[in-house]
Structure 1
Amino acid sequence: MSRLRVVEICAGAGGQALGLEQAGFEHWLAVELDPTAADTLRFNRPEWDVRTGDVADEAVWDPKEFHGADLLAGGVPCPPFSIAGKQLGANDERDLFAWAVELCGVIQPRALMLENVRGLSAPRFSAYRQHVLDRLQELGYVADWRLLQASDFGVAQLRPRFVLVALREEYAQYFSWPEAAPNQPTVGEVLRDLMEANGWDADEWVRTANKVGPTIVGGSKKHGGADLGPTRAKRAWAEMGVDGMGVANEAPSAEMPSAFKPKLTVEMVARLQGWDDETRWTFTGKKTSRYRQVGNAFPPPVARAIGVQIAAALNQDGEPRLKAESVTHDEVYRALRTADQPLTITEIQERIEDALTADEIKIRVKHLKRDFDVQEGENADGEPTYKLGTFRAFVGQDEHIRHEYLAQRRSKVS
């Protein structure tokens, strides 16, 4: 059977790419904004077609040329949804999630896989998620979201990722989410050999680092050098005997005392992201850039686990499941979207199944207004009314503010 072809956008340094390759996909194309990360892809897979530049720029690639790919995949920018940020969603110039969904209408892949941070699963983005599901349904796909922990797939860190998988109807009934592994490796177990590479006795340290680590944070280009994240993360690392205030050039020497708290090297961080010695993946660039490439990656074992399930569905392996009912993420959005005229809160309540109070509906509308234009008015009785307007996200508009933002800040965008 021929290998399945994948087009990957926002490919980074290859975490998702490697996992999908291990799952049986071959890269038809990989597009990445950061030149050093793109160099990493080319160094490790010189046979791939790797394009460097803004993924939404048709001068970089023309999506129509890749019509009929088996899979469209990507890790689109996280800041629009990150809990650590402002959660601007559709108003963040870096948001590419809705644009990536629209690509399905051009490329018409058999499957779509997009991953992002846990923040996208929050109530704040319920209407955004509902828009994505409804749009994919219009384009002929059955879609589902799932929050996955990297530690459930052999990775020694928590790293929750919110993953969207969509397949054409004839394949969707063959897809199921990957099951978690029974055992979770600890930081000490995974890094022992690397910690002992220069003769340091790591026995005591391994006993201290006997937990799954916190999420590795790569950070953005505009924020300092390489370290292991915010204060809370550094505190968690310190409890496991790791100094999170920077990244080391090499493992501890044999002369260091057993109680020494080492810093992690880039190689160690890569191991914690799921790269192992067998893959022999080389990261190009200076230390800070290499750390950032690793820290921002999607762990290969997680990508592989999902990719295996997508490949099985595309090959229609196994017995088809009963058609699952679609999950509704935001009934208030649905009610407003399907209404021909403005609705009062009472009319919204009549159109939804959930027994939401007036105050709960107002909160939903407040969240919804951050990503959509909502026209507010009053009916003849003076009751407030709401009508859903335009989705503010970038979906390819020539006049969108994203173009100006990227032109002015390209060197700082990551």
Structure 2
Amino acid sequence: MKSLELFTGAGGLALGTHLSGFEHVALVEWNKDACDTLRRNSREGALPGVDRWNVVQADIHALDFNQFGPVDLVAGGVPCQPFSLGGKHKGMNDERDMFPDFVRAVRDLRPKAFIIENVKGLLRQTFRNYFSYIFLQLSYPDLHRKKGESWEGHLRRLEDVRTQGRYADLQYNVIFQLLNAANYGIPQTRERVFIVGFRSDVGHPWHFPKPTHSFEALMREQWVTGSYWERHGVRRPKVPPAHAAPFLGRTEELFDATKPWRTIRDAIQDLPEPRADAEPSDVFNHRLNPGARAYPGHTGSNYDLPSKTLKAGVHGVPGGENMIAFADGTLRYLTVREAARIQTFPDRWRFAGSWGEAMRQLGNAVPMDLAAVVARSVSRKLKERPR
């Protein structure tokens, strides 16, 4: 099945869809360092099949999508700055709002399905009307905005079509859900909105995959059975942390049957200790960036929990979420490779640019394994015979 990747960044979503059986006709991205990352990994064949990737560095506003058709899937992590809790909260008034261009791609290419990833902030009360507008545009992409028409006026026309219940042109069945990456085995508590749509003729029902991992199961392994500490060959702490209190004394059979959340330790313990003066020859992007310090609101992530949400930060400078806080009170910045592990990129995937630029790419990325969970489910649905 053919796919087009938009707003590709460092390739997290693109890798997830690639591993799910989609063949990319093109990967569109405008940032030079991100394109360098994609091209380098394609040139070096970092994963089977990526050597055929066609990386297109372009301003999406000026792009003719018809040159890439036909495709079965359009996917993209639409730039999240307009809706991010850490941004300026301009939303639909932000010139970086790229949702109209994603809708245009769906309108021009008429794929069987699409996948969008975005920040939790998109669901904020402030943007509720605009989220409804995005949702209805994706449902009826042919009903495009007229010249000089306000987005509120366009929304009213879309609402009229939806409530009438009769529409003969291109239509998609669209659903969305807020997913926590940690609930799917990613060592990071990263909450993201996924919007998935199927062309109305695809015909089969679809739902988001069920979570497979839980915080409760991690507490069982750490503070009831102790198997977490045994697995890592470290001594169990004598004093449980406050977050374990609700689970102390609970018998093992009272816990759910899910797998435990993966922690930072789970993700990176086998890597060598990073140094500032050298990078291991066999571990790419694993040089220590010194100078980490804690202050209020900038405290780092507990080594024995999933990482906090990695963030791109302002001008590529990450915040406390990009630091590890160890049990002995010390802390340090994650290396690029460690952050890549937390975002579930393969170790062969190299990131171009300085430490700050590479961390910016990672902070903006979709965890590869989470993208694959959603994309595999979509792929299976598209392979079914329509009713």
Q: What's the TM-score once normalised by structure 2's chain length?
A: 0.67
Aligned to 1:57: 62
Aligned counterpart for 1:162 among listed residues 186, 193, 214: 193
**Secondary structure in 2 aligned to 1:173?**
coil
Aligned to 1:353: none
Q: Is the 8 A contact 1:77 1:116 kept in 2?
A: yes
Query: Which runs of 5 or more structure 2 residues have no equivalent in the other structure?
Result: 44-51, 141-169, 213-257, 281-301
Aligned counterpart for 1:146 among listed residues 149, 152, 177: 177
**Secondary structure in 1 aligned to 2:384?**
coil
Query: Percent identity at matched positions?
Result: 34
Larger mean Cα displacement after TM superposition, 141-150 or 63-72: 63-72
In 2, distance between residues paired with 1:194 and 1:34? 30
**CA spacing shift, 1:197–1:35, aligned 2, 3 Å:** closer
In 1, distance between residues paired with 2:139 and 2:340? 37
In 2, distance between residues paired with 1:127 and 1:106? 25
Aligned counterpart for 2:336 among listed residues 266, 270, 277: 266
Deviation track 1:232-279 (CA, whole Å, cap 9, x = no partner) reads x47xx56x329xxxxxxxxxxxxxxx76433311100100111233xx
Cα RMSD (Å): 2.4
In 2, distance between residues paired with 1:88 and 1:196? 41
Shift of 1:302: 0.8
1:309-348 maps to which residues of 2 (within 5 A)? Answer: 309-316=377-384
Q: Is the 8 A contact 1:16 1:297 kept in 2?
A: yes
In 2, distance between residues paired with 1:92 and 1:172? 36
1:214 maps onto 2:291 in alignment: no
Query: Which runs of 5 or more structure 1 residues have no equivalent in the other structure?
Result: 200-207, 243-257, 321-414
Shift of 1:195: 4.9
Q: Which has the larger radius of gyration?
A: 1
In 1, distance between residues paired with 2:41 and 2:71? 23
**CA spacing shift, 1:219–1:57, aligned 2, 3 Å:** farther
Q: Is the 8 A contact 1:166 1:172 kept in 2?
A: no
In 2, distance between residues paired with 1:305 and 1:72? 16
Aligned to 1:14: 11
Aligned to 1:103: 105
Letter of the 2:308 partner, please give it: P
**CA spacing shift, 1:130–1:259, aligned 2, 3 Å:** closer
Aligned counterpart for 1:281 among listed residues 349, 352, 360: 349
Letter of the 1:33 partner, please give it: W
Aligned counterpart for 2:89 among listed residues 65, 87, 90: 87
Aligned counterpart for 1:36 among listed residues 13, 33, 36: 33
Aligned to 2:80: 78
Q: Is the 8 A contact 2:13 2:371 kept in 1?
A: yes
1:5 maps onto 2:2 in alignment: yes
In 1, distance between residues paired with 2:54 and 2:346? 24
Aligned to 2:326: 241
**Secondary structure in 2 aligned to 1:93?**
coil
Letter of the 2:366 partner, please give it: F
Q: Which runs of 4+ in 1 moved over 4 A?
A: 195-199
Q: Is the 8 A contact 1:82 1:119 kept in 2?
A: yes
Q: What's the TM-score once normalised by structure 1's chain length?
A: 0.63
Letter of the 1:57 partner, please give it: A
**CA spacing shift, 1:308–1:85, aligned 2, 3 Å:** same
Shift of 1:196: 4.4
**Secondary structure in 1 aligned to 2:346?**
coil
In 2, distance between residues paired with 1:56 and 1:44? 26
Deviation track 1:84-133 (CA, whole Å, cap 9, x = no partner) reads 22321111000001321132111111111111100001222221122222
Deviation track 1:184-221 (CA, whole Å, cap 9, x = no partner) reads 1011121111254789xxxxxxxx6211111001235x
**CA spacing shift, 1:66–1:17, aligned 2, 3 Å:** same
Shift of 1:30: 0.5
What is the aligned length? 280
In 1, distance between residues paired with 2:76 and 2:55? 14
